[in-house]
Amino acid sequence: MAEAKRSNTHWGWMATALVFAILIIDQIIKIWVKTHMSLGEAIHVTDWFYIEFIENNGMAYGMTFINKLVLSLFRMVAIGFISVFLYKVIRSGRSLGYITCLSMVLSGAAGNLIDCLFYGLIFEASTPFSIASFTSFGEGYSEFLHGKVVDMFYFPIIQTTWPDWMPMCGGQEFVFFSPVFNFADACISVGVVLLLIFYRAELEVMGKVWKNQE
């Protein structure tokens, strides 16, 4: 019993360290982009990889079908739920891989929430003609919970044109992969995909445990 408790504590500290490491990396990248690039500016790394600075009010990969305030509050609730769920998973002695995937999802969600909470308070507005800088707290471009999420990774792996004979889209440009995203988005996506591929049974078990404890 004591050995299992020590193992759970060890996994807990590892999960905490991973969450903070991802948060730090994510924020370093975002702050550098925000303070060194104008809005819409792109750095050509390769023909299939650009650093392109955009901001969005919505969800991962620029989706915008939810009101900004509602989305920020939803993120806070989701992060709280995932945190409690991760704690239960660690206490139950689940595998390190499962804990790692959940930690990636948690830290990615928290990374984007930081943008929403504070970036509008501490940064000047970015424009296509100027580079933003830090400002006095509360004198930034927006209110609490209304900050914009900074995105920068763009991978136009395939750039071509639809054949003219195709209905609706014939002759139009086609880009794969077109969304611009950030490090936090990538962590969420990788974590979720790995959970669905390798840990679906674990999710079902923990879901039943959670339901029974309610």
- The answer to whether 149 and 180 have CB atoms below 8 angstroms apart is no
Which residue in this structure is represented by tokens 């440009």?
173
Orientation of helix 96-114 relative to helix 68-91, angle to 10°: 160
Catalytic residues: 151, 185
- Say if residue 177 is preceded by a cis peptide, omega within 30 of 0: yes
Domain edges within the chain: 2-157+168-213
Q: Is 133 left (phi over 0), alpha (psi -120 to 50) or beta?
A: beta
- Taking the C-alpha atoms of residue 169 and residue 174, their distance in angstroms, rounded to an integer, is 9
Residue 169 has what pLDDT? Answer: 74
- Taking the C-alpha atoms of residue 188 and residue 107, their distance in angstroms, rounded to an integer, is 8
Residue 61 has what pLDDT? Answer: 52
Q: Residue 114 has which token pair? A: 């930081």
Residue 187 has what pLDDT? Answer: 97
- Taking the C-alpha atoms of residue 18 and residue 29, their distance in angstroms, rounded to an integer, is 17
Residue 157 has what pLDDT? Answer: 85
Q: What angle do CA 59, 60, 61 make, to 5 degrees?
A: 115
Three-class secondary structure of residue 125 per DSSP: coil
Residue 52 has what pLDDT? Answer: 97
- The model's pTM is 0.86
pLDDT by position in tens, the chain (length 214): 555 555 678 889 999 999 999 999 999 999 999 999 999 999 999 999 999 999 987 655 555 556 778 888 888 999 999 999 999 889 888 889 999 999 999 999 999 999 999 999 999 999 999 999 999 999 999 999 999 999 999 999 887 787 777 777 767 777 777 899 999 999 999 999 999 999 988 877 666 655 655 5
